Every structure is written in C-alpha cells, then in structure tokens.
Amino acid sequence: MKSLEELRKLRAELEKEISTRNSEGKPKIIIGMGTCGIAAGARDILQAVTKEVRKRNLDVNISQTGCIGMCEQEPLLDVQLPGQDRITYGKVTAGDVERIVVEHLINGNAVKDLAIARLEEGGI
C-alpha cells in the first residue's frame, strides 16, 4: 500500500464483493420459487439471473418469494428499482432474462411486452 488513493481504489472494488450483505437502496430482482414456479422452470431463471448480474458486474439484490397465486403465469420475475413501482414479468424464459436485466435494470425501462403487473412502491 503506497498511498491512500490506492487503498480507496481497492476498496471500491472490494465493496462489490460484499454488497450482497447490504440491501438498502439497491435494485431488487425477486423470483417466484413456489412449487408452481419451480415446476415451471424458475430454478433456471434464478440461475440465469445470477449469471447475468455477475456478468454485468451489477450491484443488485436477488431474492426469492413463494406462490403469489398467479400459478399459470409462472415462472414469475419481479424487478423493483429503488423509489419505483415493482414490475412483475410472467412466463419468463431463460432467454428473456438478459433483456429484462439490460432494459429494465440497467436502462430503467420496464419491458412492456413481458410485464404482467405493476405494484406500487411500498406494496408487499
């Protein structure tokens, strides 16, 4: 360590390694992992999301939820950006994941053709 700058630069990198432990003010991706969801292939979606976030070096929280009663729409994937409404995407395929991540998570535009519901901020 030869300067304070060097330390700070290093820290900026390292903070990402433990960012999973911090959820405040971060975008969230929530995947329906009820029996219905898993039966419809939600496990693949979860893996695809993880892979995508890792690939694009994003600071995002990924969590799971149970059945929300829309079993016929499974696999379900919700995206919630800080301070914005929570958008639910239905019948998501592994192929859709990249699009949702890029368009919604990175660029902030909900992917309208896949979205099936909108929950107001603070809901659930």
Partner 1 sequence: MNPKFYRSHVLVCTGTGCVSSGASNVRDNLEAKLEEFGLQDEIKIVETGCHGFCEQGPIVIVYPEGVFYCQVQTDDITDIVEDHLLKGRVVDRLLYTEQGTEIRIPAYSDIDFYKKQHRIVLGNCGRINPESIKEYIAVNGYEACGKALTEMTPEEVIAEIKGSGLRGRGGAGFPTGLKWELTRQSPGEKKYVICNADEGDPGAFMDRSLLEGDPHRIIEGMIIAAYAIGADEGYIYVRAEYPLAIRRLEIALQQAREYGLLGEDIFGSGFNFDLKIKKGAGAFVCGEETALMASIEGQRGMPRPKPPFPSVSGLWGKPTNINNVETYGNVPDIMRGGAEAYRAIGTEHSTGTKVFALTGKINNTGLVEVPMGMSLKEIIYDIGGGVSDGRELKAVQIGGPSGGCIPADLLDLPIDYESLREVGAMMGSGGMVVMDDTTCMVDVARFFLKFTQSESCGKCTPCREGTKRMLEILDRLCSGEGREGDLELLEELGEHIISTSLCQLGGSAPNPVLSTLKYFRAEYEAHIKDKRCPANVCAGMAAPYVIDEALCIGCTACVRVCPTGAISGERKKPHIIHPQVCISCGICASKCPVHAIAQG
In the complex with partner 1, which residue's Cβ is closer, 58 or 115? Answer: 58
Interatomic CA distance for residues 77 and 44, integer angstroms: 12
Residue number, 26 or 91, with CB nearest to partner 1: 26
Our CA angle for 11, 98, 48, nearest 5°, is 80
Provide CB contacts within 8 A for 96, sequence distance 6+: 89, 111, 114
Binding site for partner 1 (CB under 8 A): 1-4, 7-8, 10-11, 14-23, 31, 33-34, 38, 43, 46-47, 49-50, 53-58, 61-66
How far apart are CB 99 and partner 1 at their closest, in Å? Answer: 19
Shortest Cβ 118–partner 1 spacing (Å): 21
User: Distance between CA 14 and CA 89 in Å, rounded?
Assistant: 32
Q: Which residue number, 16 or 109, has a Cβ lying nearer to partner 1?
A: 16
